[in-house]
Structure formats: structure tokens, C-alpha cells
Chains A and B, each alone.
Chain A
């Protein structure tokens, strides 16, 4: 890294992503400052997952550019940690919990070098942190949903990145695990890391996060929760599909969004 640290973790300009000419993200501009814990919310099919994938260059944008700490992603892969949705792995694959967490170090190792003692130790240390040390020799399909999620979180933590992108880390997780994960995310923020989380539960947004982006194909609003988390913006993002009690909006609004028919 150079001597002058760029101020923003992620800068997105005019990002458009289309699947077969149907725009999923339409000209999105977004600036994510360093050291914040940000939620990305929006109705189903709003392009939240696509936004994360486009930042990682896992889908090819039709237009626009993305910078991570001032440089394109291909130069920054080592300092970005990505937690995909749980469905993306082969659960029958013969691999253990410790093995999966060690994979977080593969990017740092680069091609050809094998993981050794220091990678193993780092993985064990992180497993301890997420309270999964005793299950380290389990085959991953033998874990509960919450345990699986913690393993993949541990894999991201062991990368020791600057920017963390997580796609619904609370999906299929019990309340206790959700608390534990939130604690870990706050710890990351306290260490100056930037964390972006695709999130579904509107009620917990003001409690868990300090920054929020409302998305519905276009960027509706983005900024500190205190400024952006308003009834007006939520209406813009969710349209009519929401039962909203205006007087409960601040500080913790009771919001319920009904799912759109086309889940992406």
C-alpha cells in the first residue's frame, strides 16, 4: 500500500449490470467511506447480491467502474473478503471445518504454495473466536445452518482483509448466533475495517449498522442511518409493498416488506 491512504473503501461510479438486457442495477453511484458498518437493504430482486458480485467482478458490468481503496479490484483481491450466500458451495465435498477456514488464506498464499503451520494456526485462532473450535474436524455438511454460517464468517475473518462484503450472513441463523456475528462485525469496525452487509431484517438496521444504502435497481439513498433511514426513503425503495407505522420509524421502525415475486 502507498503512503497516502485513500479515504473511501469503495467508490462506485455509474454502475449498470444487466442480465440479458434486463437491467438489474441501473447507473448506481455509491461511495462507502472507510471504517463503517453498512447495511444494503431493498426488496427482493433489487440487485443487492448483484451489487456485491459486481464489486467483486464476479459479474461483468455493462457500464461503470468500481474502485476499492482507490484501485481496481483485480489489484486489491487480497484485501477484500467475500462471504457468498450459503447455497454456493458443494456441501458433499470431503472437507472439514478447519479445512474450510484455512481456505481464507489461499488468496494470500497465491498459486502453488501449500498452507502450512502458520495458516493452520491462524485458522484455529479464528475458529476459537467464533466459538467453533471443538467442531474443527467435522465434515461441513454435519453442521447446523448457524454453525455453517459461522464457519464461512471465520473463513472471511482469517483473510485479514480491509474490506468485508457479506451476502446475508444472518440467513438461517438463530438469535444467539446473530448477536455473536454482530459483535464480530463491530469488532472489525473498531479495528478500522469496512464492512458491507446485505441485510433483510429492516427492524434491526438502526441497531446493528451505522450506515445504510437503500437499493432498488437504482440507488435510492445512502448515508448515515440517522440521516437516511426515513419513511420517505423506505417508501421509495419498497414502494407500496410495505406496512409502515410512521411514528415507530425512529429510532427502531417496525417495518415489514412483502417479498416481490421475482427473487434473484
Chain B
């Protein structure tokens, strides 16, 4: 949510820097975006701290305001340059290779490659340097403050880096794809890992897979590259969401189903235990009567009895049910807890 907000809210910073430099490729644009990002986070923080609006609402209030200032500035002062709103929102990855970096008349390659390469290098360096500090400050800010790390400074530093990354990236790919790539791969990775280092590595791997698959898709369909990549980001997330072992939707559903049968067998064991050796036993402990007494459908009752028989919890003579020793033990154990 915050990265989405930042990717939009930094627009006025870029526009102001552009108006000052009249140069779309100036590194000042990236710095201005970073500063605006920090401003965004500070404003959200300030608004949240008044206690008068909820935190989500604070984000929702700050970023449209800043974004619209950016849009107005473009419309008023820069209507005739490439910095139009479509380009900001969607970008056009296909044109990125044509924007070249030239130094002393020598063509060195696409400009975005150098810009994003430099940002990647900066991020890896910062991450290695502040790995444990960032981890603790994100996980448990109160404890981080208690041992003398500066969680607030770390938070703003992180957000400044996010802003720089966002502006560098959306020059190349547009803000929709920036948000897709910042949110979907980590969200997918979250289903698989328990450790932060593995989480970061897997997020990066999913990000790369998103780009490769998206590009192949775009070529195959002759469609927009950015659009195809956003689709592949969504697809990778959906697959992880459905199929991840343990935490995926399917795994959770299977687990719940087996727990339900387990619970039904326990219910049966307790029911039989309560009426064991009592006069009404003949009446209560018949398969045909489970329907009536436990409120189960005939099929469900038959299936529960079949499963309990297979597990050796229950014996069956004609229609009459009785508990085995294992069944008695299970019933007693469940009643005692």
C-alpha cells in the first residue's frame, strides 16, 4: 500500500525538478523523487499521529493530493513534453531500449539499464550494510528502539530508497508495473518461506520469472510488454496462493477437510461412549439412528462409520455399533481435555 502511494505521490517532485532542469534525464529527478517520497511518508506519519484519522485513511488522503498537484503542474507548465500522465501511469517498456546513454559521443547502451543497475547496486549495498537493523526495526520497532537502534531513521531511509527505486523504475516501465512488481513477487514468496533471507531471494527469483514469462507472453500474443508482465505477476501470485504447500488455499482446504472427518469420528466415539452399557444402548448405537441423534445425513453417517471402522475405533454387528478399546481410549481422552 505504501509503495503504491509513494509511486504516485512522488510525481510533483519529479515535475518540479524537471521544470527546474528542463531535462528529463537529469539525475536530479531521481533525487527529487526520493525527497518527495520521504515527504509523503512524513505527511502520512504526521496525519496518522494526530489520532484523528486511521492510518489507511492517512495514506489515502496524502497520495491523491500530491499526485493531483503533480498532474496539475504538468497540465499547466509542461503540457508539451513527454512527461504526460499516460506515460507516468503505464510507461512503455518497448521504448526503453531507444533511450540511450551517450558519453563523449559514444553509445553505451540503454539509459534505464544503467540507472536501474546503479539503483540495484545501491540497494544491495544498503541491504548488506543494514540487514539486521532493517529486519529488527520492521519486525519489532519497540524493541529496536529499546536497544538503541533508530527505527524511525531506518524507516525513513527505507522509504527514501523505495522512492528512488520507484522513480527509476517507472521511467522505464510505468507505475502500474512498478506496483505489480513490488507487491506480487514478495506476496507470492510469503507462502513458501519462514526466513527473511530466503524470503528476499525467492521474491527476487519470482520477480525475474515475472519479467521473463511476461516478455515471452507479450511476444507470443503481440501485446503490450508492461501489460503482459503485470498479468504474469498476477498469475505467479495466484499459483502460489492456490498451490503452496502448507499455507496455500488447496493445502488449507485439504487440511480442514481431514480435520472435519477426524472430528466427526471423535464425536461418534464420544456418543457411543456416553451410552455404553446403558439400557438405551440398543436404541442409541445404531447406524440408522445416528441420523436422528447426531443430526448427520445418512451418507455422512455411513462414511464416518466406515472411516472409524477402518481405523479400528468401532466394531459393527449387523446394525449395532460398539467401541473398540482404541475407540474408548479416544473418547475418554477427548472428554478429558
- The interface of chain A, by Cβ under 8 A from chain B, is 56, 58, 74, 77-78, 80, 82, 84, 88-90, 92-96, 99-100, 103, 106-107, 109, 111-112, 114-115, 137-139, 155, 159
Contact = CB atoms under 8 A, between A and B. Distances in A.
A94 B143 contact: no
A115 B194 contact: no
A189 B23 CA distance: 67
Contacts of A155: 143
B77 interface: no
A88 B142 contact: yes
Given A109-B132, A115-B132, A88 B140 contact: yes
A159 B146 CA distance: 12
B143 A84 contact: yes
A89 B190 contact: no
A94 B132 contact: no
Nearest to B135: A95
Interface string B187-201: 000100111101100
B149 interface: yes
Nearest to A82: B146
B147 A77 contact: yes
B131 A106 contact: no
Interface in B165-190: 190
Contact of B195 (A96, A107, A111): A96
A99 B140 contact: no
Contacts of B147: 77-78, 82, 106-107, 159
B139 interface: yes
22 contacts: A56-B145, A56-B146, A77-B148, A78-B147, A78-B148, A82-B147, A84-B146, A90-B138, A90-B139, A93-B139, A94-B196, A99-B196, A103-B136, A106-B133, A106-B136, A107-B148, A107-B149, A111-B133, A112-B129, A114-B132, A115-B132, A139-B194
A89 B148 CA distance: 17
Contact of A94 (B133, B140, B148, B198): B198
B138 to A, nearest CB: 7
Nearest to A93: B139
Q: Which of A56, A77, A95, A138 has the most CB of B within 10 A?
A: A95
B193 A94 contact: yes
Given A84-B140, A89-B139, A114-B131, A94 B146 contact: no
A106 B149 contact: yes
A111 B149 CA distance: 8
A155 B140 CA distance: 12
B138 A93 contact: yes
A106 B132 contact: yes
Contacts of A58: 142, 145-146
A60 B66 CA distance: 32
A148 B190 CA distance: 20
Contacts of B139: 89-90, 93, 95, 100, 103
Nearest to B193: A94
Contacts of B199: 94
Interface in B96-136: 129-133, 135-136
Interface in B192-244: 193-196, 198-199
A96 B136 CA distance: 13
Contacts of A107: 147-149
Q: Which of A92, A103, A114, A159 has the most CB of B within 10 A?
A: A103
A100 B193 CA distance: 16
B194 A137 contact: yes
Q: Please name the 6 residue pairs, one residue from A and one from B, whose CB atoms are nearest each other, closest first.
A: A107-B147, A77-B148, A82-B146, A94-B199, A139-B194, A89-B140
A111 B131 CA distance: 10
Nearest to B140: A89
Nearest to A74: B148
